[in-house]
């Protein structure tokens, strides 16, 4: 690391900011923190921590040009933080927004603080808590010469291959936003796989299945690994010890960034059906459709006399209504049909 870049200010010492601070100290980077509450573990590592109303003290501990990583929730708090820094920091200081801010906001913020002589980088940060603690993935937007000032520290805190200068202001948060959309799609497909495994006719050990899938299969990944470890209730990379799978609430919360991505896709007429549907599934998990299914039931009752709510007779008809309802594998055993083709399609003798 360059000798003139051995200090880092971190504003916001939550899950990501706090873990980055720990990693930085262990990499011999002098860290100065700012947070609204005490962080004994960080203070024990020698990190001075100042309250949010002590900007002058915070800045006085950092030599210029200062490099400051802001890790606060997206929204007005980012603007408030930048405003405080703009009033007190020195020309040439670099401020990095490491949160999940909207990329258009990042373009505006870069222009705003540039008027005060400060530099701005939008730093999309991925890798979760383990990444922040042991080596993160950074997607950076901003001017090349500004990136070069912060690059030594970001390179030290990133996993190998995990640092990219994506382009001008806004590019880092845009790439991170698309990343989050891809993440949602992957999560949804894995979740639907779990649904299929649980609904099937076999008594499967989900933990063993996911361990198997993560051992050389095409879909091996960190997410599949986390699913296996969560089922096993192994805390290797979990924030807290997970509850038994069946006790986890069937509700998914999120902070809304991927909603922005879907809106951008609509504006640009870019089809993203998987990502869009993954967002809809999160909405459904929260029970937000309180009236839609009632409306469907009302109309079905009107045109067909269909029942309201669960009905044993309808259930029986759904299960037994098709006379030829054998599984394809059974058909294959009975009359030589292919188990992977519709039953009304003949099997080529040559196959």
pLDDT digits (tens, 9 = 90+) for 131-164: 999 999 999 999 999 999 999 999 999 999 999 9
Q: With beta carbons less than 8 A apart as the criterion, state whether 281 and 287 touch.
A: no
Please give the Cα distance from 322 to 324 (Å, whole number).
Answer: 6
Overall average pLDDT of the 12-39 stretch = 94
Counting residues of the chain whose pLDDT is more than 70, the rounded percentage is 87
Q: With beta carbons less than 8 A apart as the criterion, state whether 131 and 104 touch.
A: no
Please give the Cα distance from 68 to 208 (Å, whole number).
Answer: 44
Q: Where are the domains of the chain?
A: 7-167, 176-285, 321-351
pLDDT of the residue at 349: 46
pLDDT of the residue at 322: 65
**Burial letters 28-62, b for 16+ CB under 10 A, else e:** ebbbbbbbeeebeebeeeebebbebeebeebbeeb
Overall average pLDDT of the 37-46 stretch = 88
Note the Cα 233 to chain centre separation in Å.
21
Rg over alpha carbons for the chain, rounded to the nearest Å, is 26
Give 225's contacts (C-beta < 8 A, 6+ positions apart): 210, 214, 237
Q: With beta carbons less than 8 A apart as the criterion, state whether 223 and 210 touch.
A: no
Per residue in 191-235, pLDDT tens?
999 999 988 888 999 999 999 999 999 999 999 999 998 888 765
CATH of the structural domain 176-285, one choice from 3.50.50.60, 1.10.1040.10, 1.10.260.30, 3.40.50.2300: 1.10.1040.10
pLDDT of the residue at 324: 61
pLDDT band for position 313 (cuts 50, 70, 90): confident
Which tokens go with 190? Answer: 């894995």
126 pLDDT exceeds 60? yes
CATH number attached to the domain at 7-167: 3.40.50.720
Q: What predicted TM-score, i.e. pTM, was given to this entire model? A: 0.84
**Mean pLDDT estimate for the chain:** 87
Please give the Cα distance from 98 to 111 (Å, whole number).
Answer: 17
pLDDT of the residue at 339: 46
pLDDT of the residue at 217: 97
Active site residues: 176, 183
DSSP-based three-state secondary structure for 278 = helix
Q: With beta carbons less than 8 A apart as the criterion, state whether 116 and 86 touch.
A: yes
pLDDT of the residue at 309: 86
Alpha helix (H) residue ranges in 28-123: 40-44, 55-60, 76-88, 103-114
Strand partners, 137: 126
Q: Among candidates 66, 86, 80, which has minimal Cα distance to 9?
A: 66
């Amino acid at each position: 690391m360059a000798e003139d870049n051995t200090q880092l200010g971190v504003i916001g010492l939550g899950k990501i900011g706090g873990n980055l601070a720990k990693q930085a100290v262990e990499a011999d980077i002098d860290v100065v923190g700012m947070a609204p509450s005490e962080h004994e573990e960080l203070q024990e590592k020698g990190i001075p921590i100042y309250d949010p109303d002590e900007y002058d003290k915070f800045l006085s501990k950092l030599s210029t040009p200062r490099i400051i990583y802001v890790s606060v929730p997206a929204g007005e708090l980012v603007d408030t933080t930048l405003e405080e820094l703009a009033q007190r920091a020195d020309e040439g200081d670099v401020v990095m927004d490491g949160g999940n801010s909207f990329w258009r906001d990042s373009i505006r913020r870069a222009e705003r603080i540039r008027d005060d002589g400060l530099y701005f980088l939008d730093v999309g940060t991925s890798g979760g808590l383990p990444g922040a603690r042991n080596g993160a993935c950074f997607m950076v937007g901003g001017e090349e010469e500004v990136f070069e000032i912060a690059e030594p520290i970001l390179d030290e805190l990133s996993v190998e291959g995990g640092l990219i200068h994506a382009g001008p202001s806004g590019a880092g948060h845009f790439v991170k936003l698309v990343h989050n959309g891809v993440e949602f799609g992957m999560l949804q497909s894995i979740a639907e796989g779990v649904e299929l495994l649980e609904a099937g006719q076999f008594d499967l050990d989900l933990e063993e299945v996911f361990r198997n899938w993560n051992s050389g299969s095409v879909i091996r990944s960190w997410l599949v690994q986390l699913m296996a470890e969560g089922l096993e209730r192994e805390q290797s990379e979990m924030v807290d010890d997970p509850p038994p799978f069946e006790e986890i609430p069937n509700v998914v919360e999120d902070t809304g960034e991927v909603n922005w991505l879907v809106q951008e896709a609509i504006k640009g007429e870019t089809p993203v059906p998987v990502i869009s549907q993954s967002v809809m599934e999160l909405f459904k998990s929260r029970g937000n459709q309180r009236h839609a299914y009632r409306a469907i039931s009302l109309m079905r009752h009107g045109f067909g006399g269909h029942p309201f709510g669960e009905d044993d007779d309808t259930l029986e008809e759904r299960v037994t209504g098709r006379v030829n309802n054998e599984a394809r594998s059974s058909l294959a055993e009975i009359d030589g049909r292919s188990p992977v083709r519709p039953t009304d399609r003949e099997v080529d003798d040559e196959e």
